[in-house]
Structure 1
Amino acid sequence: MRRGLVWGCWLATRIVGLLIILDRFPYPRRGEILGDPAIYEEWSRILAGGAFPEGDVRWQYPPLAAPVMLLPRWLGGTYTTTFALVALAADLLIMWLLTRSGRPLAGAWVWTAGLVLLGPMSYVRYDLVVTVAAVAALLMLARHRIFGVLAAVGALLKAWPVLLLAALPRSRRGAEAAAAFAVTCGAVLLVFGLAQGRAPWEFLDAQVSRGLECEAVAATPFMIARLSSWDGTIVYQYGSMELVGPGVERAAALLPPLTVAALLVVAVLAWRGAGRGWNVAWGCDVAFAAVLAAVATSRVLSPQYLLWLLGLAAVCLAHRGSRQRPAVPLILAATALSQFLYPLNWPDLMAAQPLETWILAVRNLLVLAATVIAVARLRTGPSNAGQDPAPSVTGAALPAR
C-alpha cells in the first residue's frame, strides 16, 4: 500500500511536470527554463557531424555527454520534448531503483518531493541523466566491480561522480572497485582519443577558466554587497551568470584549494570510520558528504546541481543505517528556494532586489549548514543499527567477490 502511494504521487507530479514542458499546464516564466535544450540541440548538430563543439566555452562535459546530447536527435520529434521524455525515463529508473523490494521508502519520498520542489526545469537539464548513473552506482555498492563501472560512466558523463570513490571500503574489494573504475574510464577515453584526438578533452579548458557564478555559496557576500555600494556587476560568460568586480577574482582563486581541503577532511573521516567497520549505508553517507563539500566550495552552484544532492540524499535514506537524515531536510528546503529564485524570480535576483538576494543567502546558508552536518556526521563512524543486508566488516578484511 505505501509503495503504491509513493508511486501514485510520483506519477501525478511527473505528469504535471511534463505538461508544463509541453506548454499544456500554466507555469510562470516557462520560457526561461528552455534555454539549455536549445543549446543541447545546437551541440547535437555538431556532434552528428562527427566533431565535438570545440571552441564553445559552454561545452564543459566529458566525452560520454555526446551520446546523451545525440539521443533526442536520433529518437526524432521536437528536440526539447524528446529530451524531456529521456529525462523522464531517467527519473523513472531512479524511482524504480529506490523502491526495489526491501528498501525503506524514505528515499523514494525524498526523490519524489525533491523534483517537485526544484520544478519542471529538472526535465530539461542534462544533470538528471548523470544522477541516474550516480544513484545506480551507490545502490550497487555491495557489488564492487559493478559499482566501479557505473561510477566511471557517471564521471564520463559529468566529472563529479568521481567523488563516489570516497564510498569504497579500505579493503581488497575497494581496490577492485577502483580498478574497475580506472579500466572503464581508460577504455572509453582511449576510444574517443583515437577517434577525435584532443577534442574530447577540450571541456577541461573551459572548466578551469570559469569564474564565480552569482549563485555559488562563495558569491553570497558579493550578492549582498550589491544591495549597497559594491562596484561590481553580473555578466554572462562560460554558460552562466558570473560576478565581475573588486575581490571576485581573488575569491574565485581561493575556492579550488578550499575544495581540496574540504575533500581531504571527508577522506580522513571516511578512512577513520572505515577502520571501525564499513557497510553500504556508511559508504553512501560518505559519498553524500563528499559531493556536498564539493558543491558548497565550488565556483558554480547552478540550480540543477540540486539534482545531484537530491539523488544522493535519496540513496542515503534508502538505507536504514544512514547517519545523514538531519542534512536531508536542509537540502529539500534549499531545493524549494532554488525554484523560487530560478526561474520564478530570476529577473529580480539579477536586478539586486532585496527579497530575492536575501533568499539566495538563506538558500546558500542551508547548503552550507547541510554540508557541515553531513561531514560532522562522519565523525562517529558507521552505524550498526537497522542495517540493510549488506557486506559489513571491521578493519581492512573483506571477502573477495
Structure 2
Amino acid sequence: MRTAAPWACWLLTRLAGLLIILDRLPYPRRTEILGDPAIYAEWSRILAAGAFPEDDVRWQYPPLAAPVMLLPRWLSTWLATSYTTAFALVALGADLLIMWLLTRRRSGGSTAGAWVWVAGPVLLGPMSYVRYDLIVTVTAVAALLMTARHRIFGALAAVGAMLKAWPVLLLAALPRTRGGVQAAAVFAAVCAAVPAVFALLQGRAPWSFLDAQASRGLECEALAATPFMLARLASWDGAIVYQYGSMELVGPGIERTAALLPPVTAVALLIVAALAWRGTRRAWNAAWACDVAFAAVLAAVATSRVLSPQYMLWLLGLGAVCLAHGGTRQRPAVWLILAATALSQYLYPIAWPDLMAARPVETWTLAVRNLLVLAATVIAVARLRTGPVTEPAPSAPAASPEHAETTAR
C-alpha cells in the first residue's frame, strides 16, 4: 500500500507528458523537443536497409542502438501511427519498467527512490519521452538492483554499454571478491559478443560511431563551457554553432579547454575508483555499490565536453536507486540533481532562444544549474571517503531463562 501514492502520481504525470507529445495539451516550444525523433526515424530507414548511418556525424551510438531505433519503426506500422508517437510509447515503457523495479525492489521499505523517479522526468519535461536515454537508463537501474547477483549485473551493465557507453562506469560498483571478477568477465564477454554478431551480419564491426564521438567539441551547456557562456555577456569573441548534433562553442580558448577535459575526466574517475577500492576493503553492500556508481557517472557528466539535458535522466535513475536503499550517503547530491533538472527544463526548451541570444537571465540560470551539478559531484565523491554504511546484523532472539542456565553450566 505504501507504493499506491507514488504509482498514482506516476500515472497522472506520465499521462500528461504523453498528451503533450501528442499535442493534446499545450506546452511552450513543443516542436523544439521533437527534432530528435525525426533524426531517429531517418536512421531507422537506413538501419532497416541493413546498414548503419556511418556517414552521419550525429550517429554516436554503439551497435545495440540499432534495434532500439528500429522498434518504433515496426511499432508505428503496427499501430498505424507516427514514428514519434511510437518512440514515445517505447520510452514510456522503459519509464514504467524503472518505476516497477524501484517499487518492487525496495531496501528497508523506503519509497524515496520511487518518489525521486516520479518527480525527475516531470522536472525535466516531456522531452524525456522523445530522447533515447530512458532506454539506456532502465538497463543501468536494473543492473544496480542486481548488484548482489554478479553475473546478471555484469550482463545488464554490458547491454547498457552496448546501448550507450556510459553504463561501463557501473563496474566501479563491483566488490573485491570472486563475484566481482565474475561480473567483470560476463561484462567483457557480452561486450565482445554483441559487435561480433553485428560483424558477422554486416561483414565488419560497427565502431564508426567512435570517430564522431571523439571529434565532438565543447557543447554550450557543459560545465566547462560556463565561463565562456558568461563571457558572452561581456562581448566575448566567440560563437555558438551547430555541429556533431549539438550547439557547440567556437572561439578563443575553446579547443584548449575541450582538449583538457578527457584527462580531467580520467583523473576524476581515478579518484572515484580509489575511494571505492578503499571503501570496499572494509565492507560492501548494495547501497554502497549504488553510491559508487552514482558518483562515477556524476563525475563523468560534470567533466564531459557535453551536458545535454537528457543526461539528467541517467543521474535521476541512479539517484533513485541510491535512495531506494536506507544506507545511502548520496541524499544531498540527489536533491541537488533534482533542482538542476528543473532548471534544465527551463533552459531547454522553454528559454532556449534567449540562452542562444546571450540573455543575462538565461545565461546566469545556466551558471546556477551547472553550479548545482558541480556541487552534487563534489558531495557525491566526498561522501565515498567514509566508506559504506555498515548495516546492523539481525539481532539474535533473547535466550530463555532455562537456556541461559544451561549455557552457564
TM-score (norm 1): 0.95
Match of 1:257 among 247, 255, 263: 263
CA distance in 2, matches of 1:316, 1:301: 22
- Tell me if the contact between 1:321 and 1:386 (Cα under 8 Å) persists in the aligned partners: no
Q: Give the deviation of 1:2 after TM superposition.
A: 2.7
CA distance in 2, matches of 1:257, 1:370: 21
- Could you say which residue in structure 1 is the equivalent of 2:94? 90
- Tell me if the contact between 1:320 and 1:386 (Cα under 8 Å) persists in the aligned partners: no
* Matching of residue 173 in structure 1 with residue 182 in structure 2: no
CA distance in 2, matches of 1:257, 1:205: 18
CA distance in 1, matches of 2:277, 2:233: 44
Map 1:118-129 to 2 at 5 A: 118-129=124-135
CA-to-aligned-CA distance 1:328-357 (integer Å, 9 cap, x gap): 110000000000000000000000000000
Matched letter for residue 261 of structure 1: V
Matched letter for residue 257 of structure 2: A
- Could you say which residue in structure 2 is the equivalent of 1:318? 324
- Could you say which residue in structure 1 is the equivalent of 2:381? 375
Q: Give the deviation of 1:101 after TM superposition.
A: 5.5
Judged with a 3 Å threshold, the aligned counterparts in structure 2 of structure 1 residues 101 and 282 are, in CA distance, closer, same or farther, namely closer
Q: Give the deviation of 1:386 after TM superposition.
A: 6.8
Map 1:251-400 to 2 at 5 A: 251-385=257-391
CA-to-aligned-CA distance 1:83-140 (integer Å, 9 cap, x gap): 0000000000000000015441100000000011000000000000000000000001
* Matching of residue 225 in structure 1 with residue 231 in structure 2: yes
CA distance in 2, matches of 1:101, 1:214: 38
- Could you say which residue in structure 1 is the equivalent of 2:405? none
Q: Give the deviation of 1:197 after TM superposition.
A: 3.9
- Could you say which residue in structure 2 is the equivalent of 1:201? 207
Q: Give the deviation of 1:155 after TM superposition.
A: 0.1
- Could you say which residue in structure 1 is the equivalent of 2:65? 65
SS in 2 for 1:304: helix
CA-to-aligned-CA distance 1:205-246 (integer Å, 9 cap, x gap): 000000000000000000000000210000000000000000
Matched letter for residue 12 of structure 2: A
SS in 1 for 2:242: strand
- Alignment RMSD, CA only? 1.1
For structure 2, the residue ranges without an aligned partner over 5 or more in a row are: 395-409
CA distance in 1, matches of 2:334, 2:41: 34
CA-to-aligned-CA distance 1:289-325 (integer Å, 9 cap, x gap): 0000000000000000000000000000011111111
- Tell me if the contact between 2:62 and 2:163 (Cα under 8 Å) persists in the aligned partners: yes
Q: Give the deviation of 1:198 after TM superposition.
A: 4.1
Map 1:207-246 to 2 at 5 A: 207-246=213-252
CA distance in 2, matches of 1:102, 1:173: 22
- Could you say which residue in structure 1 is the equivalent of 2:401? none
* Matching of residue 112 in structure 1 with residue 105 in structure 2: no
Aligned residues: 388
CA distance in 2, matches of 1:205, 1:102: 41
- Tell me if the contact between 1:52 and 1:199 (Cα under 8 Å) persists in the aligned partners: no
- Could you say which residue in structure 2 is the equivalent of 1:56? 56
Judged with a 3 Å threshold, the aligned counterparts in structure 2 of structure 1 residues 255 and 197 are, in CA distance, closer, same or farther, namely farther
* Matching of residue 6 in structure 1 with residue 6 in structure 2: yes
For structure 1, the residue ranges without an aligned partner over 5 or more in a row are: 389-401
Q: Give the deviation of 1:54 after TM superposition.
A: 1.1
SS in 2 for 1:246: coil
Identity %: 80
Matched letter for residue 353 of structure 1: R
CA distance in 1, matches of 2:298, 2:387: 18
CA distance in 2, matches of 1:60, 1:294: 17
- Tell me if the contact between 2:173 and 2:289 (Cα under 8 Å) persists in the aligned partners: yes
Matched letter for residue 97 of structure 1: L
Q: Give the deviation of 1:189 after TM superposition.
A: 1.3
SS in 2 for 1:226: helix
- Tell me if the contact between 1:134 and 1:161 (Cα under 8 Å) persists in the aligned partners: yes
- Tell me if the contact between 1:220 and 1:360 (Cα under 8 Å) persists in the aligned partners: yes
- Could you say which residue in structure 2 is the equivalent of 1:189? 195
Larger Rg: 2
- Could you say which residue in structure 2 is the equivalent of 1:15? 15
SS in 2 for 1:99: helix
CA distance in 1, matches of 2:368, 2:203: 45
CA distance in 2, matches of 1:266, 1:101: 26
SS in 1 for 2:234: coil
Q: Give the deviation of 1:199 after TM superposition.
A: 5.5
